[in-house]
Amino acid sequence: MLLSAIALHRIGFGLALIVAFSLGLAATITAIGLVAVLARRAFGRFSFNGRLVRALPAVSALVILLVGVAITVKAIPNVL
């Protein structure tokens, strides 16, 4: 971003964009941290030791694998 701003002779604008992006990123990361802390308190009284909860990592990995395979199969005709 800053290199583009320098090339367009608008260094101040590029710096302003970087500052705005940095502030937005900081606010987002802070909000995610606060939500995680509050969620930990809210879910602290529930038990997550069931079969379904233990299977979730494997199920999510399988879904990601299937989406990757589907995207690959769809892209193969365009490559060949």
Co-location of 32 and 59 in the same domain:
no
Tokens read off for 40: 């930990």
Bin 9: left if φ > 0, else alpha if -120 < ψ < 50, else beta. left
Q: What is the pLDDT of residue 50?
A: 83
17 Cβ contact list (under 8 Å, min separation 6): 1, 5
Residue pair 1/17 in contact by the 8 Å Cβ criterion: yes
Residues 5 and 42 in one domain: yes
pTM: 0.51
Q: Report residue 60 as tokens.
A: 């999510």
**Shared domain check, 70 and 39:** no
Q: pLDDT grade, residue 79 (50/70/90)?
A: confident
**Interval 18-63: pLDDT, tens:** 999 999 999 999 999 999 888 887 787 777 788 888 899 999 999 9
Q: Is 28 in the same domain as 54?
A: no
Look-up of token digits 């990757």: 68
Report the C-alpha gap between 55 and 52 in whole angstroms.
Answer: 5
pLDDT for the residue numbered 33: 93
How far is residue 15's CA from residue 75's CA, in Å, rounded to a whole number?
Answer: 39
pLDDT of residue 5: 85
pLDDT surpassing 80 at residue 67: yes
Residue range(s) defining the domain that contains residue 60: 49-80
- The predicted pLDDT at position 24 comes to 97
